[in-house]
């Protein structure tokens, strides 16, 4: 799934295109991988990264981080070795809240029919021994909740739909 957005890092804006394991920043592509122990590899160089709210700590140095204009482009489903596309594949609409990485759902804070505002927390994803609060990308009504606490999820899986 291709995602395009603007990353603001310490008040400097960077246009980002994320497509699979490639992140393009200002037109320059980088190979990015998150290892099982939480290390982020960028073009083979390891970085210790921690995210908490709007603060990213990389190698002990903290940065203010904001993301805006997140847009989704659905990719074709990937066949699994056992046959057809993975179950529970839901097309990501403009208001979809996606898993930012593989992990386990710890809490779900919304239910279908509930009104939310952009930035409201909708669920918590535990990954790499860290809890990541995921937020509504737009104001609206919760159309569907596709997960419950305890569910294992894959990166880019649709968790909550807001219309």
Written out in words, the top-level CATH class of the domain with range 2-72 is alpha beta
Query: If pLDDT is split at 50, 70 and 90, which confidence band does 9 have?
Result: confident
Q: What percent of the chain has pLDDT over 90?
A: 23
**Residue in the block written with tokens 């393009």:** 24
- Across the chain, mean pLDDT equals 79
Which CATH code fits 90-162?
2.40.50.100
Which residue ranges make up each domain of the chain? Answer: 2-72, 90-162
pLDDT value of position 1: 63
Phi and psi torsions of 39, nearest 5°: -75, 140
Structure tokens given for 125 = 């994803």
**What's the rounded mean pLDDT across residues 93-101?**
82
Check residues 92 and 43 and name the one with the higher pLDDT: 43
């Amino acid at each position: 799934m291709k995602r395009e957005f603007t990353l603001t890092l310490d008040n400097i804006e960077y246009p980002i295109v994320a497509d699979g394991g490639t992140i393009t920043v200002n037109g320059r592509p980088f190979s990015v991988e998150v290892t099982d122990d939480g290390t982020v590899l960028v073009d083979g160089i390891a970085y210790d990264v921690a995210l908490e709210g709007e603060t990213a700590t990389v190698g002990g140095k903290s940065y203010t981080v904001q993301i805006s204009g997140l847009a989704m482009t659905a990719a074709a489903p990937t066949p699994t070795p056992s046959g057809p596309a993975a179950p529970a594949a839901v097309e990501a609409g403009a208001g979809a809240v996606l898993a930012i990485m593989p992990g386990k759902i710890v809490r779900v804070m919304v239910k279908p029919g509930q009104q939310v505002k952009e930035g409201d927390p909708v669920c918590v994803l535990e990954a790499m021994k860290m809890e990541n609060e995921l937020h509504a990308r737009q104001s609206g009504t919760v159309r569907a909740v596709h997960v419950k606490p305890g569910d294992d999820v894959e990166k880019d899986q649709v968790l909550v739909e807001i219309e």
